[in-house]
């Protein structure tokens, strides 16, 4: 039991909510003897010094991230999965892993995290069942923010929100759209591209990205049973691909990724089955309880998460807390730049001051507001007593009443 694998816990009927954790669990389950490792759903990235799950604790040595864990296990002799690959196959495996970690991660982030409906209906409830109470307020939004940044980096983040807009706009179709000047707006229908609503275009583009992604994996697999070879079983990158593809099959409110995968790339679904059934009958996973951090630890994590969410301060605080830019190599270790702490502290002071100033400003009597004077209503004579129209009519010279002239 020397190896402790820390992961995000199960969700959507899968062993983990995170693609890399799912890949790691599947790989460990198939390739390592059951008694050599323990599985811990710690659901807290802070357990590892890199703030990243999956993380492997081997007698105090922490490794995190799927590829790093695999290379650590290979070099320490626990795993001989990738040993008999040719150099070219090894290069391919690395390229596939890198491809999955960039494009695959972007697609998973788009479908599960960026899309507001999927987030509200599917992903956030899943995290809520994994996390303990106050952390459900701080951890999921932070994860989502990171996923959005990742999807935007891939240039596909905006698509998910547009796909979701489909429903809101189709439900508001009964309310006719008007231009700013109040006229009814007519959709320009000049050819197919103009007739498409933006949400359809977004769905088509997302589908296009998904097809690109699947077709690369499909061609990589070709006629083989696994990505790199046929008979001698899967290698580590097969399990990583399994993790990503399984999470793309999660049923979201707009299951574009799932539909494309199952309709157009049925061979990849076979691949998933092959990976799943490799190694004979499934052994039940034994989850071990994470070491309880106690109420104090829980509150600490909550406070940390809340502080990171404070605009202006959270960034500097997070960078100071989590190491910022680490200089490696020359034994520098992690250089925590004290200036970042000063920036964070200054930011905190400034924001408190700003809040105070705002409170003070609200308490002051309003400046420049019109003063109300209450006067007895003017006596309405002549046509004025007929309200607005009356006063207009009275203004006309025709209706001049000589009698009302002051003498």
Is 88 near other proteins (CB under 8 A)? Answer: yes
Q: Which two tokens stand for residue 335?
A: 């250089």
Is 91 near other proteins (CB under 8 A)? Answer: yes
Nearer to other proteins, 294 or 328 (CB): 328
Residue in this structure with the two tokens 């270790």, named with its chain if needed:
333
For the range 369-376, what are the long-range contacts, defined as Cβ-Cβ under 8 Å and sequence gap of 24 or more?
none
Q: CA dist 378 to 372, 375, 381, 385, 391, Å?
A: 16, 8, 9, 10, 13
Is 360 near other proteins (CB under 8 A)? Answer: no
Among positions 80, 98, 129, 282, the unique one binding other proteins when judged by CB under 8 A: 98
Is 84 near other proteins (CB under 8 A)? Answer: no
Q: Which of the residues 188 through 217 are near other proteins (CB under 8 A)? A: 212, 215-216
List the alpha helices (DSSP H) in 331-396.
Answer: 338-363, 387-395
Min dist CB 161 to other proteins, Å, is: 18
Nearer to other proteins, 92 or 274 (CB): 92
C-alpha closest to that of 111 among 209, 242, 23? 209
Min dist CB 341 to other proteins, Å, is: 15
Among positions 286, 295, 389, 405, the unique one binding other proteins when judged by CB under 8 A: 405
Is 77 near other proteins (CB under 8 A)? Answer: no
Q: Which two tokens stand for residue 243?
A: 């993790």
Is 331 near other proteins (CB under 8 A)? Answer: no
Is 322 near other proteins (CB under 8 A)? Answer: yes
The dihedrals phi and psi of 92, each to the nearest 5 degrees, come to -60, -45
What is the Cα–Cα distance from 144 to 158, expressed in whole angstroms? 14
Min dist CB 48 to other proteins, Å, is: 11
Min dist CB 369 to other proteins, Å, is: 27
Is 101 near other proteins (CB under 8 A)? Answer: yes
Largest CA distance in the chain: 117
Give the residues across from 163 on adjacent strands: none
Is 396 near other proteins (CB under 8 A)? Answer: yes
Min dist CB 189 to other proteins, Å, is: 28
C-alpha closest to that of 140 among 157, 153, 121, 126? 126
For the range 138-143, what are the long-range contacts, defined as Cβ-Cβ under 8 Å and sequence gap of 24 or more?
138/301, 138/302, 138/304, 138/305, 138/306, 138/308, 138/309, 139/305, 141/309, 142/305, 142/308, 142/309, 143/113
Among positions 95, 291, 353, 354, the unique one binding other proteins when judged by CB under 8 A: 95
Is 112 near other proteins (CB under 8 A)? Answer: no
Nearer to other proteins, 40 or 241 (CB): 241
Q: Which of the residues 119 through 148 are near other proteins (CB under 8 A)? A: 146-147
What is the Cα–Cα distance from 67 to 101, expressed in whole angstroms? 10
Is 395 near other proteins (CB under 8 A)? Answer: yes
The dihedrals phi and psi of 233, each to the nearest 5 degrees, come to 85, 170
Nearer to other proteins, 255 or 324 (CB): 324
Min dist CB 51 to other proteins, Å, is: 5
C-alpha closest to that of 146 among 341, 324, 340, 308? 308
Is 390 near other proteins (CB under 8 A)? Answer: no
Min dist CB 135 to other proteins, Å, is: 16
By CB under 8 A, name the binding residues for other proteins.
Answer: 45, 50-52, 68, 87-88, 90-92, 94-96, 98-99, 101-103, 105, 146-147, 149-150, 152-153, 212, 215-216, 219-220, 318-319, 322-329, 334, 392, 394-397, 400-401, 404-406
């Amino acid at each position: 039991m020397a190896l402790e694998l820390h992961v995000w816990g199960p969700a959507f009927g899968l062993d983990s909510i995170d693609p890399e954790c799912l890949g790691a669990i599947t790989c460990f389950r198939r390739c390592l003897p059951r008694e050599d490792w323990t599985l811990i759903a710690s659901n807290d990235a802070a357990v590892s010094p890199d703030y990243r799950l999956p993380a492997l604790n081997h007698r105090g040595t922490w490794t995190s991230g799927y590829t790093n864990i695999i290379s650590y296990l290979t070099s320490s002799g626990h795993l001989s999965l990738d040993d008999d690959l040719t150099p070219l196959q090894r290069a391919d495996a690395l390229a596939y892993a890198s491809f999955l970690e960039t494009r695959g991660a972007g697609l998973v982030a788009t479908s599960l995290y960026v899309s507001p409906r999927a987030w509200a209906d599917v992903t956030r409830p899943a995290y809520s069942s994994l996390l303990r109470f106050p952390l459900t307020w701080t951890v999921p939004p932070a994860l989502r923010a990171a996923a959005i940044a990742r999807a935007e980096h891939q240039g596909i983040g905006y698509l998910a929100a547009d796909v979701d807009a489909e429903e809101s706009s189709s439900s508001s179709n009964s309310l006719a759209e008007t231009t700013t000047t109040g006229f009814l707006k007519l959709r320009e229908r000049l050819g197919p591209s103009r007739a498409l609503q933006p949400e359809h275009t977004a769905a088509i583009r997302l589908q296009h990205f998904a097809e690109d992604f699947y077709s690369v994996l499909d061609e990589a697999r070709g006629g083989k049973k696994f990505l790199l070879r046929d008979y001698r079983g899967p290698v580590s990158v097969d399990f990583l691909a399994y993790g990503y593809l399984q999470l793309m099959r999660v049923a979201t409110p707009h299951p574009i990724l799932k539909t494309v995968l199952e309709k157009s790339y049925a061979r990849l679904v076979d691949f998933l089955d092959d990976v799943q059934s490799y190694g004979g009958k499934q052994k039940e996973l034994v989850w071990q309880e994470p070491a309880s951090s106690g109420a104090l630890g829980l509150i600490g994590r909550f406070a940390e998460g809340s502080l990171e969410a404070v605009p202006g301060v959270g960034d500097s605080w997070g960078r100071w807390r989590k190491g910022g830019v680490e200089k490696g190599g020359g034994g520098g270790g992690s250089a925590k730049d004290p200036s970042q702490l000063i920036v964070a502290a200054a930011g905190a002071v400034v924001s408190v001051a700003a809040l105070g100033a705002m409170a003070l400003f609200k308490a002051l009597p309003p400046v420049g507001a019109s003063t109300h004077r209450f006067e007895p209503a003017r006596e309405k004579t002549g046509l004025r007593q007929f309200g607005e129209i009356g006063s207009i009519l009275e203004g006309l010279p025709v209706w001049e009443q000589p009698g009302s002239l002051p003498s």
